[in-house]
């Protein structure tokens, strides 16, 4: 990557301030600077006599730099009267600082390239003497030598860091607060090429990025790097990057990086390659979808004949009537499971027709339906809804969310315990919370709770049923509604699941 990161007080050796102080004393000037110049800005490696805001920012845009002429010419620049020099006629620095005269001497890096200057600035016009320039040259020679040592150390550190990040099995990209790319390993550069964009220049996104279904294109503003540089944190979403046939499935996480002094430094984006598990999951989905279709046809036939027998005028005994009811009930239960499996495997749309709904009323309606079956298991389900909690949602899908969360809570609760459903407004959002007093989950189980087909150990050991897709479906529906879902749980102390959805104005 071209250029250098802007210097800060914490990252610059104090010795570089000694050169400007020596220039101040020996030449009797009010301001002296050690500068580094790149294609965008000049940074102050050392300074004496410079006021705010430059003393804090330690940099200026390139159009405010006089030292850029030293770098451009690769030679000293000596200006006796700044008001008469055409190079400074449009320089906005002249209006910020009283500059009457300037003398700058080149600073060279290890390759002999001029990268900055040691300069002296006087407030009035001044004829620089040969002794003045000789002092400036001698000090610039010493400063260049120290700069070469610093640059070599910096290059060694960067090479070591790049070697380390290239050795890990994740892709990494690090940006500073100005969204300038400071570091990216080979994995991140490859992902960007596959997606059709560059990591080091806007728009930081490309045309070959698709959602988890590997079909729908992700809009530019929703792509990983764009979201991260806009300040988004915490959200993890599977995306496919690359043209069909040469794509990679990734999950990305972002975090803010701080310096040793606690100040913000930039944004780290980590891409995890999940291509293999994503393909395995797709294979599993295809198998389940095919199998479910094969099961649904004969099951529909069974239910049809059960209904015919139940409606027939032929006299039957009580046992036969009871048996038919059992067959019908279990067949309908099996059909519901099959439909749910198909919905998950086929990636059915998680958000259809949107209407304004009072989620408190919706939750109460669902709890009224599920309350009696729960009571037969000895579990009390209660709902506490505050003032009208309006949200724009697909009502059918949101009922699925509440049904799955409550059913899951009841499933893992013991007799005599309580499941509490609360709905309330908070900071422009609607919070739906389902809390139980059941078996709880470990931290590892929480991590897997929303994975399709994953089931808690209690389910495998026979104390709770299920097919492992309820919470996965819930998360997909909530995400489709621009919502968030969180789990708080401890083994033996119950589980609380909180859904946060964007609120809507109250319907009058």
Question: To the nearest 5 percent, what fractions of the chain are helix, strand and coil?
Answer: 45, 25, 35
| Pairing mode of beta strands 238-241, 209-210 | antiparallel
Asked if pLDDT for residue 469 goes beyond 70, the answer is no
| pLDDT interval class at 161 (50, 70, 90) | confident
Helix (H, G, I), strand (E, B) or coil at 31: strand
Q: At which residue do the structure tokens 């004969």 appear?
A: 298
Q: Do 195 and 209 meet the contact criterion of CB atoms below 8 Å apart?
A: yes
- 103 forms beta bridges with 78, 120
pLDDT of 433 above 80:
yes
CA distances from 226 to 105, 180, 217, 219, 235 (A): 41, 13, 15, 10, 13
The pLDDT > 70 percentage for the chain reads 82
Model pLDDT, residue 244: 87
**107 pLDDT above the threshold of 90:** yes
pLDDT band at 476 (very low <50, low <70, confident <90, very high): confident
How much is the mean pLDDT over the chain?
83
Most confident range, picked from 151-160, 439-448, 476-485:
476-485
* pLDDT at 248 exceeding the cut of 60: yes
* Residue that the structure tokens 């979201």 belong to: 227
Stretch 225-231: mean pLDDT, rounded? 91
Q: Give pLDDT, residue 2.
A: 37
Banded model confidence at residue 3, pLDDT cuts 50, 70, 90: very low
Q: How far is CA 469 from CA 213, 342, 408, 486, in A?
A: 17, 11, 11, 17
Extended beta strands in 246-342, E state: 248-258, 264-273
pLDDT higher than 80, residue 131: yes
Is 60 exceeded by the pLDDT of residue 407?
A: yes
Which of helix, strand or coil describes residue 420? Answer: strand
> Of the ranges 156-165, 335-344, 495-504, which one carries the lowest mean pLDDT score?
335-344
Q: Are 385 and 445 in contact (CB under 8 A)?
A: no
CA distances 4 to 41, 160, 162, 495, Å, are 10, 17, 16, 50
Calculate Rg over the CA atoms of the chain.
34
pLDDT digits (tens, 9 = 90+) for 200-226: 999 999 999 998 888 889 999 989 999
Q: What's the confidence (pLDDT) of residue 461?
A: 41
Residues 278-306, mean pLDDT to the nearest whole number: 65
pLDDT band at residue 77 using 50, 70 and 90 as cut-offs: very high
Q: What is the pLDDT of residue 267?
A: 93
Contacts of 27 (CB under 8 A, 6+ apart): 120, 132, 135, 136
Distance CA 137, CA 143 (A): 10
Alpha-carbon distance of 474 to 465, in angstroms, equals 17
Hunting for tokens 């430094």 — which residue is that? Answer: 265
> Is-contact 281 452, C-beta < 8 A?
yes
pLDDT value, residue 342: 62
Listed ranges 259-263, 277-281, 322-326, 374-378; the one with the highest mean pLDDT: 374-378
Q: What is the DSSP letter of 234?
A: S
Residue entry with tokens 């479906």 = 473
DSSP 8-state code for residue 64: G
Banded pLDDT at 315 (limits 50, 70, 90): low
Which pLDDT does position 235 carry in this prediction? 65
pLDDT at 465 over 60: no
Q: What is the DSSP string of 120-174?
A: EEESS-----HHHHHHHHHHHHHHHHHHHHHHHHHHHHHHHHHHHHHHSSSEEEE
Find the Cα–Cα–Cα–Cα dihedral 317, 318, 323, 324, rounded to 10°: 70
C-alpha distances out from residue 423 to 385, 403, 435, 477, Å: 5, 14, 12, 18
Query: In the prediction, which pLDDT does 296 show?
Result: 63
> Highest-confidence range of 5-9, 72-76, 475-479, by mean pLDDT?
72-76
Give the pLDDT confidence score for residue 233 in this predicted structure. Answer: 77
Asked if the model's pLDDT at residue 375 lies above 70, the reply is: yes
């Amino acid at each position: 990557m071209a250029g250098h990161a802007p210097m800060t007080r914490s990252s610059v050796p104090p010795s570089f301030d000694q050169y400007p102080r020596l220039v101040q004393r020996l030449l009797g000037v009010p301001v002296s600077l050690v500068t580094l110049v790149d294609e965008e800005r000049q940074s102050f490696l050392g300074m004496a006599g410079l006021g705010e805001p430059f003393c804090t920012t330690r940099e200026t845009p390139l159009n405010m730099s006089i030292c850029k002429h030293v770098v451009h010419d690769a030679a000293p620049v000596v200006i006796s009267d700044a008001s008469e020099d055409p190079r400074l006629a449009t320089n906005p620095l002249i209006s910020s600082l009283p500059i009457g005269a300037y003398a700058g001497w080149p600073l060279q890096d290890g390759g002999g390239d001029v990268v900055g200057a040691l300069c002296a600035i006087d407030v009035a016009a001044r004829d620089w003497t040969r002794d003045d320039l000789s002092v400036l040259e001698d000090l610039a020679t010493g400063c260049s030598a120290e700069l070469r040592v610093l640059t070599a150390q910096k290059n060694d550190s960067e090479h070591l860091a790049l070697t380390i990040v290239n050795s890990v099995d994740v892709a990494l990209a690090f940006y500073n607060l100005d969204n300038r790319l400071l570091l990216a390993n080979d994995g991140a550069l490859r992902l960007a090429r596959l997606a059709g964009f560059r990591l080091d220049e806007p728009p930081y996104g490309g045309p070959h990025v698709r959602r988890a279904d590997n079909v729908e294109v992700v809009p530019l503003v929703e792509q990983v790097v764009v979201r991260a540089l806009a300040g988004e944190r915490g959200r993890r979403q599977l995306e496919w990057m690359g043209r069909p046939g040469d794509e990679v499935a990734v999950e990305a996480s972002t975090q803010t990086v701080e310096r040793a002094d606690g100040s913000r430094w930039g944004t780290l984006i980590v891409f995890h390659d999940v291509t293999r598990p994503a393909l395995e999951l797709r294979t599993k989905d295809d198998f389940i979808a095919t199998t479910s279709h094969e099961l649904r046809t004969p099951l529909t036939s069974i239910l049809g004949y059960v209904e015919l027998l139940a409606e027939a005028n032929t006299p039957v005994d009580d046992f036969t009537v009871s048996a038919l009811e059992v067959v019908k009930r279990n067949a309908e239960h099996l059909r519901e499971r099959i439909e749910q499996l198909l919905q998950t495997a086929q990636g059915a749309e998680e958000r259809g027709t949107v209407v304004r709904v009072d989620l408190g009323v919706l939750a109460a309606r669902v709890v009224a339906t599920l309350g009696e079956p729960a009571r037969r298991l000895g579990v009390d389900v209660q709902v506490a809804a505050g003032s009208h909690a309006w949200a724009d949602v697909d009502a059918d899908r949101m009922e699925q969310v509440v049904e799955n969360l409550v059913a899951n809570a009841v499933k893992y609760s013991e007799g005599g315990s309580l499941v509490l459903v609360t709905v309330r407004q908070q900071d422009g959002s609607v919070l739906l919370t389902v809390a139980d007093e059941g078996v709880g989950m470990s931290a590892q189980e929480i991590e897997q709770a929303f994975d399709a087909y994953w089931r808690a150990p209690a389910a495998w050991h026979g104390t709770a049923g299920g097919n492992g897709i309820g919470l996965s479906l819930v998360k997909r529906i909530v995400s489709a509604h621009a919502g968030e879902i969180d789990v708080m749980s401890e083994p033996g102390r119950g589980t609380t699941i909180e859904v946060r959805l964007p609120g809507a104005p109250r319907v009058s």
